[in-house]
Structure 1
């Protein structure tokens, strides 16, 4: 039973990481395309770079929250109480 719970938790974590990386990229490309069509500005490439940087930051912050570290021993907390 605990194995299934861990598998589902890991799948949810991977999905959350993927969404947090792709959402800003897709949003920035969409906004850049709309600005290009409406105003004629060339903004897709700068906004794409901005979206990639924002996605990397989101993923980094999410990973920092998901992987708690024990400051005394330097070990990761497995969360199952077996140390």
Structure 2
């Protein structure tokens, strides 16, 4: 990432990282509790683990794309 980026872009990236981690975890948590009530089968913990893994993957992809230099793409 270049050092000349504005504070707003950095704040937006940090916010987006947090949201991209929290949303899959919360969705899987709510879906797991709802599904446990419907089917009476313990699926909460596996779904929370899937949510954490999905959130970490989202953060990894976002950080990797944020770290790319757009000038390198134009050279190829």
TM-score range, shorter chain: 0.7 to 0.9
* TM-score where L is the length of structure 1: 0.75
Greater RCO between the two (CA within 8 Å, min separation 6)? 2
> CA shift at 1:43, angstroms?
0.6
* Unmatched 5+ stretches in structure 2: 70-76
- Hey, what's the Cα distance between the residues in 2 that align with 1:47 and 1:40? 15
Larger-gyration structure (1/2): 1
Match of 1:64 in 2: 64
More helix by share: 2
> CA shift at 1:35, angstroms?
0.5
**Paired positions, count:** 67
> CA shift at 1:27, angstroms?
0.4
- Hey, what's the Cα distance between the residues in 2 that align with 1:68 and 1:10? 14
Q: State the Cα RMSD in Å.
A: 1.8
* TM-score where L is the length of structure 2: 0.81
List structure 1 segments (4+ residues) > 3 angstroms apart after TM superposition. Answer: none
- 1:3-82 to 2 correspondences below 5 Å: 6-68=6-68
